[in-house]
Structure 1
């Protein structure tokens, strides 16, 4: 039995916005597996993910749509090396602007022929108990500005002398129905010893217990590994169709304050 994802579910699992998925369809880069005749919804299966990975990789390196189409016709090592070398020469003419992308290309050379886009992690099924947390929710300009909310919440905790458990956990909950690059609705939560009185945007509450969730632990830099983790989780869900997907939610649990360069991250 093959799992079919609605476009919104596929967007959340792959961290690609609905707008971009529609664009890929319109320019014939990634067509949906099928379209629901009654609703008109685009539907995708797990076999669309490998091609989507390649498109995302080349778009990050600023390849044009026509170039991506040509590259997808021949994804051999030799063809990909030639493609990257051409782009490397182009970047070297404007090194001050394109330095970050040049570094990505150099890393890609080392990864060709290996499981470049894979994450070797195990998915586990477990429950999540209710936790007492202090919460701050806000709309972020971009996904990578989450630290603004964390700083505000920690400043409040220090000012009010809020007691935290010895091995407290931090939770980031993303509330948008799809992956967004701007105006991101994020709720940051920190485990506390007991609930207290709400103060303005700072809320105390107990999280909802979850009986059954698919969970993955990711080690290493968050920004580098999180997207590959979502691809792996989507593949796992397709391979285990007897688990009914009640809803695609995105929670990231940080174990304790952690280290931003090498944290332990739970993704559910």
Structure 2
């Protein structure tokens, strides 16, 4: 048997933490002396404590760890494998996000070292006037929050491609998203997912062509806010005004692009001269 102090020293966790783990049912002392209340742990409990520490290092919450420890022995390995795969995906997503932030931070440091403003990157976003052609869109329109949009991007476009495959329709462009809400609402925004097709079938609509201010973003979708700001500033400065909802066209598939740096997105602001 190991005293709470010995157990604490081996596992490198404080006795205060061990008492808390006992309170929440994560790991109980094997024995508690009836007279003095001293706590003792068995050698076998070292393995349980090491598992707790390992799962904590994988960013499992204490509730998640408690759930893992409660699994039946015949299910534990398989269930843990699935849970670890899910947690790995979460961590990989955070790594990608941090990599994007780090890249942006390095760029800002480089600008400052050259005596430039941190916001000078806006001047490097090119804007051009283009005439777009009319298209026929197969579309789904939903009211989505930003979180729902991120999660639903693949789902809604997958539904559209499924309809295209079922109906043997002819694709004539890459996926696009049209933002109809007049302002940002964290609760939900009027968002249209669309794919240009040749045929006029149920669920399609005509999308007019016309004059647009256009920018191309190569990189993370997180930078789109800068492109929108640059386009809006350009439209105002050059004496134009918006006529329709802005939209994005995705030239690359995020699910088949290894890094954010390889993403290419076109942003269009339909405009006319004031």
- With structure 2 as the length reference, what TM-score do the two structures score? 0.50
Judging changes above 3 Å, is the alpha-carbon distance between structure 1 residues 220 and 102 closer, same or farther for their aligned structure 2 residues?
closer
> Using the alignment, how far apart are the partners of 2:103 and 2:137 within structure 1?
43
Aligned CA distance change for structure 1 residues 104 and 125 (closer, same or farther; 3 Å): closer
CA distance in 2, matches of 1:152, 1:116: 41
| Residues 157 and 256 (structure 1), Cα distance of their counterparts in 2 relative to 1, 3 Å cut | farther
Give the structure 2 partner of residue 160 of structure 1.
Answer: 167
Alpha-carbon distance, 1:181 to partner? 2.5
Give 1:34-183 correspondences, 5 Å limit.
104=101, 108=105, 111-112=108-109, 113=112, 114-117=116-119, 118-119=121-122, 120-142=124-146, 143-147=149-153, 148-165=155-172, 168-183=173-188
Distance 1:101-1:163 versus aligned 2 partners, 3 A rule? closer
User: Which has a greater percent of helix?
Assistant: 2
Question: What number of residue pairs does the alignment pair up?
Answer: 160
Once residues 131 and 192 of structure 1 are traced to their aligned partners in structure 2, the CA distance between those partners, rounded to angstroms, is 8
Aligned mates of 1:103, 1:163 — CA distance in 2: 36
Partner of 1:228: 226
> Which structure 1 residue ranges, 5 or more long, are not aligned?
1-97
RMSD: 3.0
Alignment match of 1:192 (pick from 178, 194, 197): 197
- Name 2:206's counterpart in structure 1: 206
SS in 2 for 1:157: helix
Structure 1 segments, 4+ long, off by >6 Å, are 98-103
Summarize the Cα distance change of 1:110–1:246 in structure 2 as closer, same or farther, 3 Å threshold. Answer: closer
| Greater C-alpha radius of gyration | 2
Matched with 1:85 is none
Distance in 1 (CA, whole Å) between partners of 2:139 and 2:206 is 10
1:115 shift after superposition: 4.7
Measure, in 2, the Cα distance between the counterparts of 1:103 and 1:160: 39
Higher relative contact order (CA 8 A, sep 6+): 1
Kept after mapping to 2: 8 A contact 1:169/1:257: no
Quote the Cα distance in structure 1 between the aligned partners of 2:238 and 2:190. Answer: 30
